[in-house]
Amino acid sequence: MGERYELIVLGAGPGGYVAAIKAAQMGHRVAVVESRDVGGTCLNRGCIPTKTLVHAAEVLEEIRSCEKLGIHVGQVSYDFAGMHERKAEVVEQLRGGIEGLFKAYKIDLIRGCGIILDSNRIQVGDQAYETDRILIATGSKPAMPPIPGLTLPGVVTSDEMLEGKGVYCKKLVIIGGGVIGVEFATIYHALGCEVTIIEALDRILPTLDREVSQNLTMILKKRGIKVYTGARVDRVEHTDQSVQTAQEKGLAVYFMSKEKEQCVETERVLVSIGRRANTEGICPPSLNLQMQRGMIPVDDSFETCIKVIYAIGDIVLGGIQLAHVASAQAVNAVCSMFGERAPMNLSCIPSCIYTNPEIAAVGMTADEAKMRGIRTITGKAIMSSNGKTVIEMADRGFVKLVFEEESKVLLGAVLMCSRATDMITGLSDGVAGKLTMSQLAATVRPHPTFSEAIGEAIEDADGGAIHAAPRRK
């Protein structure tokens, strides 16, 4: 029998490493079991590498359009391998930071796949470890639908797109128009790739405000990205034509759109229909965690049906698969398991999409409020009249705020504009703190900034009455 710990965490992603550090800060003896690199999917094959490539693509686009600013740079090109080298540098730097924190807080990192033997024992390879508590934070992996041909060479997931030197191509078909799909479409289009998105539902980004989906669809199509919605992929086959960028055959994607079979020939196919819980093999059948489709049900303290075994992040049944959600759940779970108050407010979760323009949302949309029987007032500011937007030649966008009609409390916000992912935090505070229209309007917002649009949206919701001059008696 190996070391005994007060907590063993399975998984070193944004949920697992935050939980381990929090527990160690509280003075507890902690170990983390990880079979791959620390940082999990988010750091190594998700959020961070994607956003590094998004940034490179945005800089490339800005340079291409800089003549409108009176700046001349000559011929512009890019180095695909160099972009991925920069991505690797960013990942390595951040990964080193996590490993440094493990050492600083004396957290043991156990390399290998952990198997839960019972509520107090973890098996890693030939070694068993005893623990008082177990936290499962094994994250998720790309889902693969049962479509014929998805095992062919050239069909990839986001993992392959982001690992190592990436996947270079001049033609790309993306199956799935969710967050992952539209972000990769933005990156590869900036690199001169011919991109096609095929989405089974009636619109891309189907979980967000409908206006966001419509607006982004128009922007993508204007840029030359083909978008098919309400389209079902039937199969993927090889073509006789070889791929110029690799020693492989090309691919043909067959799909039904408007009751008609269509075909797109491509070099690569990215499958991005979502992610599934990575819980296979974490415990023997005798240890019944009552999983549903691989996901684990938990209570409000993130404890499973087996006492002292907890679960957080992408594997939680009914949860939201976002890195910052896993980190917040980690803090609450650790505090709960060691008898302290859970500090994080999980009722108000912002979501961000790093397209161009950026998209961010928090709280309820007007349609969701209507479904709950809540009467609302909506305020909207169009970014085409925003000074900073005009200066930076940014694409069309808007800020939309939803207030409860009677109390004027902020219920939700949707932003589609430059810096939306940074601005959403202030509005998240407003939703979580139940701030009213007048309280939000009292904030002085600097000029010129993108955030001025928030004040304009508030005024639009109240018909300008908040800042109207008082009537003389």
Q: For residue 114, what are the β-bridge partners? A: 124
C-alpha angle 318/276/323, rounded to 5°?
70
CA–CA gap between residue 86 and residue 434 (Å, rounded) = 42
Using CA atoms, how far apart are residues 403 and 409, in angstroms rounded to an integer? 5
Return the bridge partners of 249, or none: 242
Contact 330, 18 (CB under 8 A): yes
Residue 352 tokens read as 């961000």
CA distance 404 to 408: 5
Give the pair of three-digit tokens for residue 348: 């108000």
Catalytic residue among 55, 72, 84, 447: 447
Query: Helices in 342-383 by DSSP H: which ranges?
Result: 366-371
The dihedral through the CA atoms of 128, 134, 135, 138 has a sign that is positive
Strand order in the sheet with 231-242: 231-242, 249-257, 260-266
Distance between alpha carbon 283 and the CA centroid of its chain, in Å? Answer: 28
Within 26-125, where are the H helices?
A: 40-45, 47-64, 80-104
Give the separation between CA 292 and CA 300, rounded to whole angstroms. Answer: 18
Please indicate whether residue 324 is annotated as part of the active site: no
Question: Alpha helices, DSSP H only, in 392-468?
Answer: 420-432, 437-441, 452-461
Cα distance between residue 265 and residue 269, in whole Å: 10
The DSSP code sequence of 194-237 is EEEEE-SSSSSSTTS-HHHHHHHHHHHHHHT-EEE-SEEEEEEE
Cα dist from 164 to 111, 159, 161, whole Å: 21, 10, 8
Give the integer Cα–Cα distance in Å for 161 and 169: 11
Residue 15 identity: G
Contact between 378 and 440 (Cβ < 8 Å): no
Q: Which residues are catalytic?
A: 447
